[in-house]
Amino acid sequence: MSTELAFQSSINPAHTTTYGVNEVLTACPQTGDLLDIQYDWDRVPVPGSLKEFESRWSTRRNPLDFSGVWRFRELLPFAPEDKIVTIGEGQTQLQQSEHVAKFVGVDDKNLFLQYEGLNPSGSFKDNGMTAASTHARIVGAKMAACASTGNTSASLAIYSGVTKLFKTIVFVGSGKIAYGKLSQALDYGAVTLQIQGDFDDALKQVREVCRAANIYLCNSVNPFRLEGQKSIMYRVLEGLNWEVPDWIVVPGGNLGNSSAFGKAFIELKELGLIDRVPRLAVINARGANTLYQLVEEKGLSWNGGQPDEALVNEFYQAMDADNRRASTLASAIEINRPVNLMKCLRALDFCDGVVREVDDPEILDGKAQVGAGGLGCEPASGASVAGARLLREQGVIAPSDRVVCILTGHQLKDSTATVEYHMGKNGQSGSSCANSPIQVENDYEKIMEVIRQIS
Ligand code: F0G
């Protein structure tokens, strides 16, 4: 066992070998399993109650106390303070929305939207990238890379652009990324490789390239990233005056967020900082529903740390044999092989979780409702609202349950999807919430005619 305060170890509970935090690893060298960052909590000065973190609100001039990630630094204590890389991430908010509550079907005051689009690069990824960038700095990385459906790349690019600590290469699937996101990587100065393929192809390539060329990998197989993403849950609790909600509903792509949320709750419970755990709902797009199929249809589970790997391999073999590829308008979550699958199973197990799938029209309706009565979000985030509505219809969520939907990305990330939805493109002509623009001649009387009709 390590004598360090923070160390890395396999998520497989049967393997207890530990690795130092100065090692750059994306899998356990012995077993190939995903890695966790673990702590010797007895030696960490963790506050006796979460409320104590509020004292940091009065010392916001310290960038570490300003950051919505690092003001909780005792809960992710892997880095010396002078190595922490922050660009002011995590200034996000929990919004109560009666409009979205009505759409979902819960009591007026019971629906909350955790708006991660307010991060510097416009998505939740900054919560993780501040942690990965910090680790990259600790190990002295000169170059970092990731594969992305667009938000990870925007986030990595902004951290390297602002801090100049390392150069960045991002791998994206050609034609598979919303323009808002591509524009960010270009603007922030990342070398951008457009691979002829989808996210899974790009991830496979970047993993090999990083291994061969000693480049620091920033995808969510990097266990440090997920440490930062735990803080989304700390801020949700903070927004609810440290009360635990009944449900956390989150879109599932590569399953980094759901995995990080589960780890946050496992640790908070172990530390006695919460007395109960919310239920977790992970929402897949129907066109990219690997998790849904494996968990809800084939019965895959964490199984005490021994999930049925043969079942997973069989599923992927059949996927390849049938040439089935993920396809959804929610391009952020258009993923075939979620790399954090096993960690997500652990989260579902601990949080008594469920997985659901929603189709693209449902996702876009959910997104439009958030736009009309919330803070706006990109399509993938709309899946959480659509999923909450489905779970309510199924009677899994009760009207009296307090539900938090995670809005993972900003509305302006994918304005094409929004405009096409409202203008009835992509077969969306029957959209229940469409608000298409009205064409009017450049003529005062004609304009007034329209105004009279709507008033
Ligand atoms: N929502 C948005 C807006 C995303 O960008 C992503 C993932 C997800 C949800 C899914 O989160 O992977 O933690 O389950 N985007 C990655 C990317 C894959 O490359 O930007 P997850």
Report the separation in Å between the CA atom of 122 and the middle of ligand 1, taken as the mean of its atom positions.
12
**DSSP string across 379-391:** HHHHHHHHHHHHH
Report the separation in Å between the CA atom of 332 and the middle of ligand 1, taken as the mean of its atom positions.
5
| 257-290 per-position pLDDT tens digit | 999 999 999 999 999 999 999 999 999 999 999 9
Report the separation in Å between the CA atom of 152 and the middle of ligand 1, taken as the mean of its atom positions.
7
What dihedral angle (degrees, nearest 10) is formed by the CA atoms of 142, 148, 154, 158? -10
Closest CA to 363 of 334, 393, 383, 391: 383
Closest CA to 384 of 237, 281, 260: 281
CB 264 within 8 A of CB 233: yes
Closest CA to 124 of 81, 154, 86, 157: 154
Report the separation in Å between the CA atom of 151 and the middle of ligand 1, taken as the mean of its atom positions.
7
Burial class (CB in 10 A: 0-12, 13-18, 19+), 253: buried
> What mean pLDDT comes out for the span 409-434?
84
| 48-60 per-position pLDDT tens digit | 999 999 999 999 9
Delineate the domains of the chain, giving CATH numbers in brackets: 1-44 (no CATH), 93-120+226-422 (3.40.50.1100)
Report the separation in Å between the CA atom of 257 and the middle of ligand 1, taken as the mean of its atom positions.
8
Nearest CA to ligand 1 atom 4: 332
Can you tell me the distance from the alpha carbon of 357 to that of 55, in angstroms, rounded to the nearest whole number? Answer: 41
Strand order in the sheet with 191-195: 191-195, 167-173, 143-148, 216-217
Report the separation in Å between the CA atom of 254 and the middle of ligand 1, taken as the mean of its atom positions.
6
Q: Give, as one character, the DSSP assignment of residue 123.
A: B
Residues with C-beta less than 6 Å from any ligand 1 atom: 123, 125, 148-152, 251-257, 332-333, 378, 380-381, 408-409
Report the separation in Å between the CA atom of 251 and the middle of ligand 1, taken as the mean of its atom positions.
8
Ligand 1 atom with minimal separation from the 254 CA: 12
* pLDDT band (50, 70, 90) for residue 6: very high
Ligand 1 atom with minimal separation from the 380 CA: 1
CB 406 within 8 A of CB 114: yes
| 361-394 per-position pLDDT tens digit | 999 999 999 999 989 999 999 999 999 999 999 9
342 pLDDT higher than 50:
yes
Ligand 1 atom with minimal separation from the 409 CA: 3
Nearest CA to ligand 1 atom 11: 253
Report the separation in Å between the CA atom of 47 and the middle of ligand 1, taken as the mean of its atom positions.
31
The mean-pLDDT minimum among 88-97, 110-119, 171-180, 259-268 falls in 171-180
2 pLDDT higher than 80:
no
pTM given for the model = 0.97
Most informative mutation of 257, 331, 370, 414 for ligand 1 (most atoms within 8 A of CB): 257
Nearest CA to ligand 1 atom 3: 409
- pLDDT, residue 399, reads 98
CB 450 within 8 A of CB 440: yes
431 pLDDT higher than 80:
no
> What mean pLDDT comes out for the span 444-452?
97
Orientation of helix 360-373 relative to helix 379-393, angle to 10°: 100
1 pLDDT higher than 50:
no
Most informative mutation of 226, 333, 377 for ligand 1 (most atoms within 8 A of CB): 333
- pLDDT, residue 3, reads 64
Residue type for position 322: D
Closest CA to 205 of 332, 29, 194: 194
